[in-house]
């Protein structure tokens, strides 16, 4: 099989797919070189080299295990998708044949529809809609979580914090889809909230929370609440209480204390939480699918359909990578704007 990959149809041609198979060996070699380099460059006599620390057998085992784990379970599947996205969609029989060439047409198809050669407005709209809604959800979560995290980290008593933590975590023991459906039940036309509103006489007809996308917003925010909560809590929790009191003692009202002392200190945590929530919201499937309105086209759902409905893996991967690239670019720009170093945000 490997030989076929290396030399398809007897030609001396290393296909792009073979490159993926070769990579683990290259990385193992790189590890090896790094270990040799360390042994040669460190002159501290008390410093034990990698091989002295672990011995030859264990040393090799560690390298091979780490390399295999990162490569086969993490990197390779992605790399396979990358490679796939640069190929045309072909039935299995025609793979490695003359029609199997490297192409950018899958990437182009997001912008120009391959069917009618017009602008692919439906998908482009979904693409930007996803990014805009995800950033709005991120901001919303930040607004919800910052006061909560501050309360838990600095203001609340041990008892209150424990209770709050429990209330936050326990719902996450429930399956994500089940949670989405329970929100749906709450927000449905004859759901609890509409019945309550009508019972109180606030509205005559039920409000279409699901159709107007309220459900999607609630679902997206709630699914990622803890992801925002914990980095924020961690960051604020390590802030010395005396700093807050010092600012207060120097005459600062509460909002200036937050502006000048707490938020600058918690900035890495805020950046980390926002990055993760944004990435996860943009990639989420359940909430937009179950809670979104009938006309809402979520980009991840389109990718999902390419993979599992149309069996068009190349185009699905191309779309997924375009979304990934756009999200990473967006995050980078935001980090730069708020002057956070990447290292701080992924701490």
Q: Which residues bind another protein (CB under 8 A)?
A: 240, 242-243, 245-253, 256, 260-261, 264-265
Q: How far is the CB of 273 from another protein (least distance, A)?
A: 19
Q: In this structure, what is the dihedral angle of CA atoms 97, 102, 107, 109, given to the nearest 10 degrees?
A: -40
Q: Which residue has the tokens 């290292």?
A: 343
Q: Which residue has the tokens 């917003």?
A: 217
Q: What are residue 56's phi and psi, to 5 degrees?
A: -65, -45
- Token pair of 198 as six digits: 């009508």
Q: Which is nearer to another protein, 228 or 261 (CB)?
A: 261
- Token pair of 139 as six digits: 């901001």
Residues 242 and 272 sit within 8 Å (Cβ to Cβ) = no
User: Cα dist. 70→22, 38, 74, 321 in Å?
Assistant: 14, 22, 5, 20
Q: How far is the CB of 247 from another protein (least distance, A)?
A: 7
Q: Is 193 exposed, middle or buried (0-12, 13-18, 19+ CB in 10 A)?
A: middle
Q: Which is nearer to another protein, 64 or 250 (CB)?
A: 250
Q: How far is the CB of 238 from another protein (least distance, A)?
A: 12
- Token pair of 137 as six digits: 């959800």
Q: Which is nearer to another protein, 261 or 291 (CB)?
A: 261
Q: Which is nearer to another protein, 181 or 265 (CB)?
A: 265
Radius of gyration of the chain (CA): 26
102-128 as b/e: b if 16+ CB within 10 A:
eeeebbebbeebeeeeeebeebeebbe
Q: How far is the CB of 159 from another protein (least distance, A)?
A: 14
Q: Which is nearer to another protein, 223 or 247 (CB)?
A: 247
Q: How far is the CB of 248 from another protein (least distance, A)?
A: 5
Q: Which is nearer to another protein, 159 or 242 (CB)?
A: 242
Q: Is 242 exposed, middle or buried (0-12, 13-18, 19+ CB in 10 A)?
A: exposed
Q: How far is the CB of 265 from another protein (least distance, A)?
A: 7
Q: How far is the CB of 231 from another protein (least distance, A)?
A: 18
Q: How far is the CB of 221 from another protein (least distance, A)?
A: 30
Q: Which is nearer to another protein, 153 or 286 (CB)?
A: 153
What are the DSSP calls for 208-253, one per residue? -TTTTTHHHHHHHHHHTHHHHHHHHHHHHHTS-HHHHHHHHHTT--
Q: Is 331 exposed, middle or buried (0-12, 13-18, 19+ CB in 10 A)?
A: buried
Q: Which is nearer to another protein, 185 or 250 (CB)?
A: 250
- Token pair of 111 as six digits: 């912008």
């Amino acid at each position: 099989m490997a030989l076929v990959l290396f030399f398809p149809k007897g030609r001396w041609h290393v296909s792009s797919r073979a490159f993926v198979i070769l990579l683990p060996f290259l990385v193992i070699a790189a590890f090896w070189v790094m270990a040799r380099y360390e042994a040669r460059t460190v002159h501290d006599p008390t410093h034990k080299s990698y091989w002295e620390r672990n011995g030859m057998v264990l040393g090799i085992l560690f390298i091979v295990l780490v390399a295999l784990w990162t490569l086969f379970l993490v990197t390779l599947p992605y790399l396979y998708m990358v490679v796939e996205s640069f190929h045309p969609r072909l039935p299995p029989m025609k793979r490695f044949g003359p029609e199997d060439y490297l192409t950018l047409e899958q990437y182009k198809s997001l912008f120009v529809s391959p069917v009618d050669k017009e602008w692919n407005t439906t998908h482009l709209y979904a693409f930007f809609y996803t990014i805009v809604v995800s950033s709005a959800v991120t901001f919303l979560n930040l607004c919800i979580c910052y006061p909560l995290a501050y309360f838990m980290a600095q203001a609340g008593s041990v008892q209150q914090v424990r209770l709050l933590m429990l209330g936050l975590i326990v719902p996450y023991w429930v399956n994500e889809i089940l949670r989405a459906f329970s929100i749906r039940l709450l927000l449905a036309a004859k759901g609890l909230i509409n019945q309550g509103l009508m019972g109180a006489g606030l509205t005559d007809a039920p409000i279409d929370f699901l159709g107007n996308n309220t459900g999607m917003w609630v679902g997206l925010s709630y699914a990622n609440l803890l992801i925002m909560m914990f980095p924020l809590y961690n960051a604020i929790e390590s802030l010395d209480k005396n700093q807050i009191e010092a600012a207060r003692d120097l005459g600062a009202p509460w909002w200036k204390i937050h502006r000048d002392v707490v938020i600058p200190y918690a900035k890495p945590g805020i950046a980390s939480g926002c990055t993760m929530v944004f990435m996860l919201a943009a990639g989420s499937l359940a909430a937009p699918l179950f809670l979104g309105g009938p006309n809402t086209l979520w980009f991840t759902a389109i990718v999902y359909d390419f993979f599992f409905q149309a069996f068009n893996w190349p185009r699905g991967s191309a779309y997924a990578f375009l979304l990934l690239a756009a999200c990473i670019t967006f995050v980078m720009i935001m980090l730069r704007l708020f002057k956070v170093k990447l290292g701080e945000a992924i701490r």
